[in-house]
Amino acid sequence: MSFYMEYPVRGMTVLCRKFSMALFLSLFAALASASPPMDPGIKALQERIGFTVTERFSTPAEGVTGYVVKTGDGKTGIIYGLGDLTFSGALLENDGNDLTREYSARYIPKPTYASVAKQLSRDPHLVSEGGEDAPEVYVFADPNCIFCHKFWQQTRNWVAEGKVRLHWVMVGFLKPSSLGLSAAIMNAEDRAAALQAFEENFGKSGNGRGISELTPIPADLQKALEQHGQWMAEAGFSGTPGLLFKDTSGQWRGQTGVPSQEALGRMLGVTE
Tens of each residue's pLDDT in the chain, 272 residues: 333 333 344 444 443 444 455 555 554 444 444 556 899 999 999 999 889 999 999 999 999 999 999 887 677 889 999 999 999 999 999 999 999 989 988 988 777 899 999 999 999 999 999 999 999 999 999 999 999 999 999 999 999 999 999 999 999 999 999 999 999 999 999 999 999 999 999 877 544 457 899 999 999 999 999 999 999 988 988 899 999 999 999 999 999 999 998 999 999 998 76
Neighbouring C-alpha atoms within 13 Å toward the C-beta of 245? 26
- Helices 113-120 & 219-234, crossing angle to 10 degrees? 160
* Per-residue confidence (pLDDT) for residue 105, from 0 to 100: 86
* Per-residue confidence (pLDDT) for residue 153, from 0 to 100: 96
What pTM did the predictor assign? 0.67
CA angle 205–200–146, rounded 5-degree value: 70
* Per-residue confidence (pLDDT) for residue 238, from 0 to 100: 83
Which has the closest alpha carbon to 186: 149, 228, 135?
228
* Per-residue confidence (pLDDT) for residue 30, from 0 to 100: 47
Give the strand order in the sheet containing 76-82.
Answer: 52-58, 65-70, 76-82, 85-88
* Per-residue confidence (pLDDT) for residue 26, from 0 to 100: 53
* Per-residue confidence (pLDDT) for residue 242, from 0 to 100: 96
